[in-house]
Structure 1
């Protein structure tokens, strides 16, 4: 893909992400997962209790890309015809086996399936072929679907063996937690506005052709092998800690990494793009937090960098006090001078290749302070 075309795709995807998350309180990460699923033509599973904006996010995503939308709550009594459409009786009388799919899942481009693991075996078999091949094998016929992405929701990770194949079809899995107390104030304001005015229908920012161009850009416009060695190392770390990643999922994770780089405005994957492993590796409920912790330790994630920079800033406060009180020619000043030089190198290494404004601002402030303290130490040493 040519640079101009890639730049246009990047702008469109960024706008889609910003518009998707805009009306929701602290649902940025959920919006990111759905956009990543969309531009990789994969499926996403949102795990969590009801009332956490899962279906609202899915519906808004479909509206923003002008996609035909299908929503259904599954129970163990759900019949295939409820999803796939009823049999065409007139055609059946003429010896033709056909379904009326208008307004049903085969016609949809984005679908939201609530409580998906309640599906019975008849529905389950149809969903597996739809998710994998975008085809329904229905009796004596094959129904080609228009489906691009399924977004599903569930309260729990399935334990039943017969549901594991369905669970594995979701490349992206994310736990949706209730909002913590610090967000209750804006939540109440947003909820009250919805009660009074309802959900505002968003203006589309792209169409399915634009989504397809984004998908092409993920596959052909992003260099993912720049981080191959680091990715292999992380796979080894995860495997050592008991988190096995199947060969098929390893390959698909490359697509998720490329999509994250594209969403961040880059045509080259970087270490911070490996953060998508927290959406693509977890299986059991307890895995989500454990894998996130491992990634924070192993990767240059924003949280990790900010944590390290804040620790350095705190240490500099103590160093400032010591240098201020040190007498001229105090031999300890030489040790502090060397330590400050080493700290500056560490800060530069931490932010190398990072373009996050918050990180850059904090790092710049820290390096200015380090330079000030170095000058002050040298002045007291009369150097």
Structure 2
């Protein structure tokens, strides 16, 4: 099992039966692997603390520490009590076992209520992974720190430095799906989860991979995108957007981490999708900056092809409008009044029905029925068609499922056969229509060729590993190349396979072979 598959299965295992939190688990796993911190903004009771408890199971023998902050919280509650025995010897040393400095995963709820004494020590732990204990620097085993709050840090209270250290930010919400909500109510929620030991990560592995991650290069493609995005966001916000160089450095580290665990030696466009989670400071910015990022992505990837495709579609629409004008100018369906020597009364149009044999070679549709179905070309109608041996001898009528195919063609739906209606000026009309049809065919061939090129390029990116941003990447890369998402294509392929299997099992026959007119004389 390669490292990418292992991390993907590990994320699935630790997020078992935690509904609609897949994105948070993926981001938290990325933060853990990159030894960064993540901040969750959201109301109480939406499984924020559960995530940290589950993340400890990603590490073999992993430990976690969690604490709900208040304005009365003391350093002893976070970093451990003072060792009284050593204090008698004049040494100010904390007992850190089972506290944050000795844990692999930490969760601090209501983080902004922490006092300055807690904040300052926390900054050192986050920045340097060091805890100063009794004059000695201890390297902490902390791989991931998750903080949470139902509010953002208040301005003017000195919390900006601490907030800046939480590189990944995410707005957590409650369940939206009724089905998932019912599963939550009816199922059992567990803080613990069974994870296959073969999937769990050892601290030794993480250290080795950390060194290898530093060897990943930032590709020219992703650098060009970042340059373009920085200019774009400044322009779109009138210069108000500020992303510090330090934050960009942290972002590049997460991009490298994403690339490494997706099996790449240099970053690619899939790794760019960490950016929207790292650049906002409030909810308004989160929405605005994300939109700017995704618009920038669509400008940088596939835009020329999408514009060319749109231009071809506009040309096709123009020719189609010319077809409508030609039909209005030249198409005159031949009316027949009271055909079959008055056997049927009213005005009718003649259908060139070529499959009725000698007995049913003449076919009429009433003008009223034709005008009805012609105006609703996407719908099928069961109407009476009238048949005869010749124009004088009436054989009877038959209810038939039909649809208007073109201005002068009718489709027998069950038989999937098309027939022309008689036209008073066929030569001139056909000449005009043939010319327009040639134009349409040429444009449609170009459109099809371009679509094939775009889909080929899309498949290259679709098959790129993106375990941390899978859903949003799949959506945006499909949008960039104007096609369906990977999930939609897989669902269509499965449906088509099932339909073929059903058709084979039912031993379906060609409907035209069983055509039988049961005429009502």
Q: Which interval holds the TM-score relative to the shorter structure?
A: 0.7 to 0.9
Matched-pair contact (CA < 8 Å) for 2:217–2:267: yes
- 2:178 paired with 1:178: no
Alignment partner of 1:189 is 2:294: no
Residues of 2 paired with 1:219 and 1:129: CA distance? 22
Matches within 5 A, 1:58-207: 58-66=52-60, 67-137=62-132, 140-161=135-156, 162-180=158-176, 183-194=177-188, 198-203=190-195, 204=197, 205-206=199-200, 207=202
1:61 and 1:224 mapped to 2: Cα distance?
Answer: 31
Matches of 1:70 and 1:231, distance apart in 2: 36
| Structure 2: distance between partners of 1:127 and 1:336 | 68
Secondary structure of the residue aligned to 1:153 is strand
1:334 Cα offset (Å): 1.4
The aligned runs of 1:208-247 (5 Å cut-off) are 208-221=203-216, 224-240=219-235, 241=237, 242-247=240-245
Q: How does 1:350-369 map to 2 (within 5 A)?
A: 351=458, 353-355=460-462, 359=485
Distance 1:139 1:160 in 2: 33
Which one of 450, 465, 468 corresponds to residue 345 of structure 1? 450
Q: CA deviation at 1:300?
A: 5.1
If each structure's strand is expressed as a fraction of its own residues, which one has the higher value? 2
The 2-side partners of 1:23 and 1:146 are apart by: 28
CA deviation after TM superposition for structure 1 residue 8, in Å: 2.9
Deviation, structure 1 residue 99: 1.0
Q: Report the Cα distance in structure 1 between the residues aligned to 2:452 and 2:175, rounded to whole angstroms.
A: 33
CA contact (8 A) 1:70 1:104 kept: yes
CA offset digits 1:277-297 (Å, max 9, x no partner): 111111111111112212221
Structure 1 counterpart of 2:44: 50
**Alignment deviations for residues 210-250 of structure 1 (CA, whole Å, 9 cap, x no partner):** 33344334322465444211121112212222322111111
1:52–1:177 Cα contact (<8 Å) kept: yes
322-331 or 247-256, which deviates more: 322-331
Matching residue of 1:40: 34
Q: Secondary structure at the match of 2:166?
A: coil
Aligned Cα RMSD in Å?
A: 3.3
8 A Cα contact 2:15 2:54, kept in partner: no
Query: For 1:293 and 1:347, how far apart are their aligned partners in 2?
Result: 29
Q: Deviations over 1:150-192 (max 9, x none)?
A: 1111112212340000000011111112222xx1222321343
Aligned: 1:252 with 2:244: no
Hey, which of these two has a bigger chunk of helix by percent? Answer: 1
Rate the CA distance shift 1:17–1:220 in 2: closer, same or farther, 3 A: farther
Aligned position for 1:376: none
Contact 1:272-1:300 within 8 A present in 2 as well: no
Asked if structure 2 preserves the Cα contact closer than 8 Å seen for 1:222 and 1:262, the reply is no
List runs of 5+ in structure 2 lacking aligned partners.
324-404, 408-429, 464-473, 475-483, 493-521
Structure 1 contact 224–258 (Cα < 8 Å) conserved: no
Moved more, 116-125 or 343-352: 343-352
TM-score of the two chains, using structure 1 as the length reference:
0.79
Instruction: Give unpaired runs (5+ residues) of structure 1.
Output: 1-6, 366-383
The two structures have a TM-score, normalised by structure 2, of 0.60
Following superposition, the deviation at residue 18 of structure 1 comes to 2.2
Contact 2:40 2:149 in 1 (8 A): yes
Partner of 2:183, secondary structure, is: helix
Who wins on radius of gyration, i.e. which is larger?
Answer: 2
Give yes or no for contact 1:20–1:60 (8 Å, CA) kept in 2: yes
Measured at CA, do residues 336 and 269 of structure 1 come closer, stay the same or move farther in structure 2, by a change above 3 Å? farther
Secondary structure at the counterpart of residue 214 of structure 2: helix
Shift of 1:21: 2.9
Cα distance in 2 for residues equivalent to 1:353 and 1:298? 20
SS at match of 2:98: coil
